[in-house]
Structure 1
């Protein structure tokens, strides 16, 4: 029996963990579709993979790079030093070896040039080498991009995408957010774009059952790297709700569960923990893994979160009432989450509190509105967007690699 076709998936984790989780689901689905998958990860100082890959997927560790801060002002290595030419060269050698020795049938690149533009010096030579070796080249792209106001910037991105890719897999649903809503020239790529549906885990969840007096209010911040402000406001709102005087707010008797995320800064975690030391009914907990988190959402009276891609998918899967505080970045230019939050609000799936308007008092008021709305009786939920993005992506990529017989 011949060896399965190989897929090399270039994924670069810089700050948040959402895109990495999405990539893992796609990689696993590709293995199930008959491909041998290798996925790039940041390397720990001891030379071992610093990020987990799914069962059946091979890790390709590269010398680590990270965003220096939430504004992506610079790239730094695993020790926090600016990335220099030697660091880039070491990464390039690893990638060149992977192409030369393991000959992928498909190279899948996450984001670039629609995002990850700082990786140009790495990705464009990699794509050229892969194509010269006979590989198809494809892009893995989330539903909504950070909007660029400069038409020349968009035109440059379009030209690079046309030069690089055989297929562009957009992990979304055009009925919710067509790519052209955040990238106006997208129609010029229509012949290359395949809209896959949202990348969601395929698992059975109970129907939402948070309409109980003891159901908690669940506050989550994904990985936590940019969630400190939301958690601080939630702590004060929870304290206010549970130590009310006079008329009891709707959430007064409910427990509050705050999930800190693995990338929440240690100083912030310590400060929040100290603030809650003598408070009952309010807990700051480590982040839950995906299945446990979705089960917690299904049993929550209310979810309070940011509006990242995976958070939206989890809310669609679990179905709780929701408040979204979309991340907009230090300069307010991160437009992706605000757009997604607006679209979900327009469908009646959430209330939105802009990050710039977030205060404990405003959050308390929004919690009151959300709980009052949830108490109004059974909700007629809008059907969620298509959620078979991992499986559909795998089918497209397997076909590019020459795998036959996929339905």
Structure 2
């Protein structure tokens, strides 16, 4: 019997969260003997998607600004019609060559509307097949809340027409999809909760720090890292700091931060052992992105969260506030990041006991693989086309 094939589309635009979560899921699929081809559409990131995953890199697309208001190519130029058409053709050709049993599309149609120019043709190509693969969308547990009329209705229409599964990577005891997507009940027969896609329990840290400050991918974390450097000067010199800027912080900004770092601060672009560093830390200071929060919950360290809110983003604030209500984190709004206030909040957090282990399902990567395997066993990969 041939290997079960998965075709996994993921487009990261600003940070690395979408690609990191998808990579964890892809790794779990490989471990359960799936043949996984991941199609990536963002700027390349070393280490992702990881060993054992076949990778097809489309010509890169990134967010034009923090508010996701436009798209640019790798050189920062606006996308042309010819560029879009070329990417669309490459994507559909890659799909046909892969001959998958399962297609996973990360975020769309709940997010990544900017990529409709290639995803709608892909879905139509799948719909025209005599025997179609199982089609799933892969979602984080808390969605960006939409205000434009008709967007939610359009999403429901696309899910009903093209998708078999809506994989919600969360614990329904923490967040349910209908809380941030009001029309979820219209597609509830397709919704499956997988648990949070956290890393496996971390290994013992090779080195320990009192405070680990991280800025996700780094594209929007310069202010947080800079404030943390100054806050370190206001707190006892005996405290050991680890600052992880993220790989997307511009080189000139990283060099300027490194030149001004006090002796108690260790500055890094990226740490492969980030999860184990958190396990050995007294406190994590970070934004409230999905993957960072999963790392923190798995590590069980104290957490000060500074949600990203540029461009009207609501997802991180919603997540941070829920964690604060559960006693698993403290929240500092972005506009409150001044070195004195950050130092005061860190000092307060360091005086608190380590939080209790959260009673949340953190095994979402492996459970996603199990769910997809079970659905295939029930014959989910051989479906007649809509015209049959």
Same fold, TM-score > 0.5, yes or no: yes
Stretches of 4+ moved more than 6 A in 1?
48-51
Counterpart among 331, 337, 342 of residue 316 in structure 2: 337
Counterpart among 144, 147, 154 of residue 145 in structure 2: 147
Is contact 1:219–1:258 with CA below 8 Å preserved after alignment? yes
Match of 2:12 in 1: 13
Distance in 2 of aligned mates of 1:395 and 1:255: 41
Distance in 1 of aligned mates of 2:83 and 2:214: 35
Match of 1:328 in 2: 309
Match of 2:383 in 1: none
Is contact 2:11–2:42 with CA below 8 Å preserved after alignment? no
Distance in 2 of aligned mates of 1:343 and 1:30: 30
Structure 1 residue 205: Cα displacement: 4.1
Q: What aligned pairs does 1:25-174 form with structure 2 within 5 A after superposition? A: 25-42=24-41, 52-133=48-129, 134-174=132-172
Match of 2:222 in 1: 228
Distance in 2 of aligned mates of 1:3 and 1:74: 42
Is contact 1:41–1:49 with CA below 8 Å preserved after alignment? no
Counterpart among 362, 366, 383 of residue 358 in structure 2: 383
Structure 1 residue 382: Cα displacement: 4.9
Task: Name the count of aligned residue pairs.
Answer: 377
Instruction: State the superposition RMSD in angstroms.
Output: 2.3
Structure 1 residue 174: Cα displacement: 0.7
Distance in 1 of aligned mates of 2:54 and 2:45: 10
Distance in 1 of aligned mates of 2:191 and 2:294: 21
Q: What aligned pairs does 1:344-383 form with structure 2 within 5 A after superposition? A: 344-374=323-353, 379=354, 381-383=356-358
Relative to structure 1, is the Cα distance of residues 403 and 38 closer, same or farther in structure 2, using a 3 angstrom cutoff? farther
Give a deviation string over 1:294-318, Cα, whole Å, max 9, x none.
1111111211111110111111111
Relative to structure 1, is the Cα distance of residues 324 and 80 closer, same or farther in structure 2, using a 3 angstrom cutoff? same
Match of 2:282 in 1: 301
Distance in 2 of aligned mates of 1:255 and 1:274: 18
Match of 1:245 in 2: none
Give a deviation string over 1:189-209, Cα, whole Å, max 9, x none.
210000000112224545x9x
Counterpart among 178, 181, 187 of residue 179 in structure 2: 181
Match of 1:248 in 2: none
Which ranges in structure 2 are unaligned for 5 or more consecutive residues?
380-388
Which ranges in structure 1 are unaligned for 5 or more consecutive residues?
243-251
Q: What aligned pairs does 1:273-288 form with structure 2 within 5 A after superposition? A: 273-276=258-261, 279-288=262-271
Distance in 2 of aligned mates of 1:81 and 1:172: 36
Q: Report SS of the residue matched to 2:297.
A: helix
Is contact 1:111–1:140 with CA below 8 Å preserved after alignment? yes
**Structure 1 stretch displaced more, 87-96 or 137-146:** 87-96
